């Protein structure tokens, strides 16, 4: 200012004033506040999602949606068809190299179907962990909502790990959303994975036990669903007493449908958990995948072995199986007809059923047999048989009974979530059953390969499963 004064020019002061204003404006220039924006309305920052029960509900919906659309649970890419051809339920008529690999038990570590199962499962697990962490740190949610959401997320986390462990063996058990931890996780021995699943599910039962949700369509998991998975898990682990308890609990609430034709309708009374329908006019993806509308054009059809396994007079053979012939009548193919509608324009009649009571009867039957309660076991088994129009089974030993239960499981649960494959695997019969049928069968085929790219991305996952 001194210098300016020296000019003693009156205009300078005026100019100086303007300059100050200008400098002031420019000084404002780099204000950090200006470039900080609120998040957009269609995107939610994680924290805000967990401030309202309805948005948590939406985050949960993403998990169910993802499970239905892709991955091991889904009707279009899941166990139902894939493990159906991997075992002896379905023949594959298509040309998809990835599926041919599964059909011939020649899966390569780069198989994209298997890769997707792995990555989709962990994507859903991330979502579940985000919800668990989110509701735990939320100070706004009510206690009941918090428990319900956490229980559901724990169930989903358990289910995903259960599916993973059953096809890959040792897998990482992921319980956080931190990508730095998760990108370097190691595989946990199968036994420990099963224990972690058990504790997640038990906690889920406890958290959801008090919740009384209006869930007539059984499309959202509650504590019954967690129990149904626990029963399956205990069977897998050989904890038969606990398996029986769980199944018994469920039988007090659900009843078997009397009519076979109603079992796979969305209003079926024996459904414990089902995934709601996708975009109309779709019904279930299971129906789209399995029903053959035209030859040629078929992808999957029932194997001769499966067809032969039905006893004479089994109503399931007529109610749950259908066939189609080509124009020349030279080829007739049989396909699962549990789900009956590929499309339905106005309203979906069938949902994708994940757990139903018939399985629980067979679990309890097997559990009782293992514990020496042959009468009880037979009663449960016959309950399922009688519904299918079959007479009571006659067995003389525990071994025969177990054989009969497995046979019944093969028929009752055919082409549902790969039950046949997992039965063969857990009872050690896969080599016998498939070795003769599939020329390229090897005993290491009990496990699928961990995706190649994953071993590269995270070397802590090494070594690869044997045989790959």
Partner 1 sequence: MKKLSFFVRRICVFLLFYLLLSPLFSRPVMALSSSVAFQEVVSGMVTDVDGEPLAGVTVVVDGSDLGTVSGLDGAFSVMAGPDDLLVFSMLGFQTVSIPVNGRDAVDVVLEEELTQLGEVVLNAGYYTVSEKERTGNIATVKAEVIDKQPVDNPLAAMQGQMSGVNIVQNTGVPGGGFEIEVRGRNFINGGTDPLYIVDGVPFGSQSLGSNDVSRDIVNADISPLNAINPNDIESIEVLKDADATAIYGSRGANGVVLITTKRGKSGKTRFDARFSSSLGRITHFLDLMDTGQYLEVRREGIVNDGFGDFLENPGFASFWPDVALWGDDRYTDWQKVLIGGTAYRNNAQLSVSGGSEGTQFLVSGGFQDQTTVFPGDAKYQKASVRSNVNHRSGNDRFQINLSTSYTHEDNLLPRSDLTFKAYTLEPNAPELYDENGNLNWEDNTWDNPLATLEQKYQSRSRTLLANALLSYSIFKDLEVRASMGYTDYRMDSDKILPSSSRNPSLNLTPQSYSNLTTNASRRSSWIVEPQVQWKHHWDGFGLDVLLGSTFQQQTTSQLVMRGRGFPNNKLIYNMAAAEEVEALNSLDTDYRYNAVFGRVNLNILDRYILNLTGRRDGSSRFGPGRQFGNFGAVGLAWIFSKEGLFSESSLLSFGKLRGSYGTTGSDNIGDYRYLDTYTVTGEDYDGVTVLSPTGIFNPLFGWEANNKLETGLELGFFRDRLFINASWYRNRSSNQLVGIPLAATTGFPELTGNFDATVENSGVELDMRAVLLRTDRFQWSTTFNLSVPKSKLVRFDGLENSIFSDRYVVGKPLSITKLYNSLGVDPETGQYEFEDYNGDGQITFTEDRQWIEDLAPEYYGGLGNSIRWGNLTFDLLLQFKKQLGYNTIRYKAVPGYRGNSSVKLYDRWREPGDMESVQVAASGFVIGAGQGDIQRRSSAAVSDASFVRVRNITLNYSVPGLDGLDVDVYLQGQNLLTFTHYDGPDPEQTINNQLPPLRQFTLGLKIGF
Q: Which of 456, 462, 463, 466 binds partner 1 (CB under 8 A)?
A: 456
Q: What is the three-class DSSP state of 296?
A: coil
Q: Which of 4, 5, 20, 97 binds partner 1 (CB under 8 A)?
A: 97
**Token pair listed for 15:** 């100019």
Q: How far is the CB of 228 from partner 1 (least distance, A)?
A: 19
Report 127-146 residues binding partner 1 (CB under 8 A): 127, 129-130
- Do residues 107 and 444 lie in contact, with contact meaning Cβ atoms separated by under 8 Å? no
Name the segment binding partner 1 (CB under 8 A); options: 60-68, 82-90, 200-208, 432-440.
60-68
Does the footprint of partner 1 cover residue 79 (CB under 8 A)? no
Does the footprint of partner 1 cover residue 397 (CB under 8 A)? no
Report the residue number, 266 or 368, with the smaller CB distance to partner 1.
Answer: 266
Name the segment binding partner 1 (CB under 8 A); options: 29-37, 144-152, 237-245, 397-405.
29-37
Does the footprint of partner 1 cover residue 457 (CB under 8 A)? yes
Name the segment binding partner 1 (CB under 8 A); options: 178-186, 255-263, 302-310, 399-407.
178-186
Q: From CA 23, how far away is CA 419, in angstroms rounded? A: 76
Report 237-256 residues binding partner 1 (CB under 8 A): none
Report the residue number, 239 or 266, with the smaller CB distance to partner 1.
Answer: 266
Report 324-343 residues binding partner 1 (CB under 8 A): 327
CA–CA distances in Å: residue 343 to residues 97, 141, 288, 325, 346: 28, 40, 8, 21, 9
Question: CA 229, 235, 237, 243: dihedral to nearest 10 degrees?
Answer: 70
Residues 37-56 as x/- pattern, contact with partner 1 by CB under 8 A: xxxxxxxxxx--x-----x-
Does the footprint of partner 1 cover residue 185 (CB under 8 A)? yes
Q: What is the three-class DSSP state of 332?
A: strand
Name the segment binding partner 1 (CB under 8 A); options: 95-103, 192-200, 369-377, 407-415.
95-103
**Token pair listed for 209:** 């036990």
Does the footprint of partner 1 cover residue 32 (CB under 8 A)? yes
Q: From CA 333, how far away is CA 326, in angstroms rounded? A: 9
Does the footprint of partner 1 cover residue 36 (CB under 8 A)? yes
Report the residue number, 186 or 444, with the smaller CB distance to partner 1.
Answer: 186
Report the residue number, 36 or 312, with the smaller CB distance to partner 1.
Answer: 36
Q: Which of 119, 211, 371, 373 binds partner 1 (CB under 8 A)?
A: 119
Total residues in contact with partner 1, by rule CB under 8 A: 76
Does the footprint of partner 1 cover residue 347 (CB under 8 A)? no
Report the residue number, 40 or 439, with the smaller CB distance to partner 1.
Answer: 40
Does the footprint of partner 1 cover residue 216 (CB under 8 A)? no
Q: Which residues contact 385 (CB under 8 A, 6 or more apart)?
A: 391, 392, 393, 408
Q: 456 burial class (0-12, 13-18, 19+ CB within 10 angstroms)?
A: exposed
Q: How far is the CB of 118 from partner 1 (least distance, A)?
A: 6
Q: How far is the CB of 153 from partner 1 (least distance, A)?
A: 13
Report 272-311 residues binding partner 1 (CB under 8 A): 276, 280-281, 296
Q: Which of 1, 10, 28, 308 binds partner 1 (CB under 8 A)?
A: 28
Q: From CA 79, how far away is CA 219, in angstroms rounded? A: 19
CA–CA distances in Å: residue 463 to residues 112, 170, 354, 450: 19, 10, 32, 9
Residue ranges of alpha helices (H) inside 70-111 are 79-86, 97-103
The pair phi, psi for residue 309, each rounded to 5°, is: -75, -15
Q: Which of 4, 5, 13, 19 binds partner 1 (CB under 8 A)?
A: 19
Report the residue number, 120 or 314, with the smaller CB distance to partner 1.
Answer: 120
**Token pair listed for 101:** 């690999």
Q: From CA 56, how far away is CA 51, in angstroms rounded? A: 8
Kindly write down the DSSP assignment for every residue of 117-134, as one continuous string: HHHHHHHHHHHHHHHHHH
DSSP H or E stretch at residue 314: none
- Do residues 108 and 100 lie in contact, with contact meaning Cβ atoms separated by under 8 Å? no
């Amino acid at each position: 200012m001194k210098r300016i004064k020296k000019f003693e020019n009156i205009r300078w002061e005026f100019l100086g004033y303007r300059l100050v204003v200008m400098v002031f404006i420019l000084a404002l220039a780099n204000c950090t506040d200006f470039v900080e924006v609120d998040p957009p309305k269609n995107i939610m920052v994680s924290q805000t999602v967990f401030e309202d029960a309805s948005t948590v509900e939406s985050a949960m919906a993403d998990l169910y949606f993802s499970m239905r659309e892709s991955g091991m649970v889904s009707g279009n890419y899941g166990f139902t068809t894939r493990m159906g051809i991997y075992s002896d339920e379905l023949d594959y008529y298509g040309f998809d190299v990835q599926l041919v690999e599964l059909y011939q038990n020649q899966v390569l570590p780069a198989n994209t179907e298997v890769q997707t199962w792995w990555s989709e499962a962990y994507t859903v697990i991330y979502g579940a962990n985000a919800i668990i962490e989110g509701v735990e740190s939320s100070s706004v949610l009510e206690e009941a909502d918090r428990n319900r959401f956490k229980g559901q997320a724990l169930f989903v986390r358990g289910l995903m790990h259960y599916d993973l462990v059953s096809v890959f063996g040792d897998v990482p058990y992921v319980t956080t959303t931190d990508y730095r931890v998760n990108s370097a996780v190691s595989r946990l021995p199968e036994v420990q994975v099963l224990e972690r699943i058990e504790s997640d599910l038990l906690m889920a039962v406890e958290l959801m036990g008090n919740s009384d949700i209006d869930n007539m369509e059984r499309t959202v998991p509650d504590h019954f669903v967690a129990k149904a998975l626990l029963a399956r898990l205990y069977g897998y682990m050989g904890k038969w007493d606990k398996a029986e308890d769980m199944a018994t609990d469920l039988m007090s609430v659900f009843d078997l449908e009397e009519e076979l034709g109603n079992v796979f309708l969305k209003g079926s009374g024996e459904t414990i958990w089902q995934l709601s329908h996708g975009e109309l006019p779709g019904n279930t993806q299971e129906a789209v995948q399995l029903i053959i509308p035209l030859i040629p054009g078929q992808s999957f059809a029932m194997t001769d072995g499966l067809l032969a396994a039905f006893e004479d007079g089994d109503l399931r053979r007529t109610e749950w199986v259908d066939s189609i012939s080509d124009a020349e009548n030279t080829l007739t193919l049989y396909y699962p007809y549990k789900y009956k509608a590929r499309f339905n324009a106005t309203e979906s009649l069938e949902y994708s059923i994940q757990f139903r009571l018939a399985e629980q009867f067979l679990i309890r039957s097997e559990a009782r047999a293992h514990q020496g309660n042959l009468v009880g076991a037979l009663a449960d088994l016959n309950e399922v048989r009688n519904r299918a129009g079959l007479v009571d089974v006659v067995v003389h030993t525990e071994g025969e009974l177990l054989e009969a239960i497995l046979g019944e499981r093969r028929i009752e649960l055919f082409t549902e979530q790969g039950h046949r494959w997992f039965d063969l695997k857990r009872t050690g019969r896969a080599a016998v059953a498939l070795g003769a049928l599939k020329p390229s069968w090897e005993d290491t085929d009990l496990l699928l390969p961990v995706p190649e790219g994953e071993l590269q991305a995270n070397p802590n996952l090494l070594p690869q499963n044997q045989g790959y």
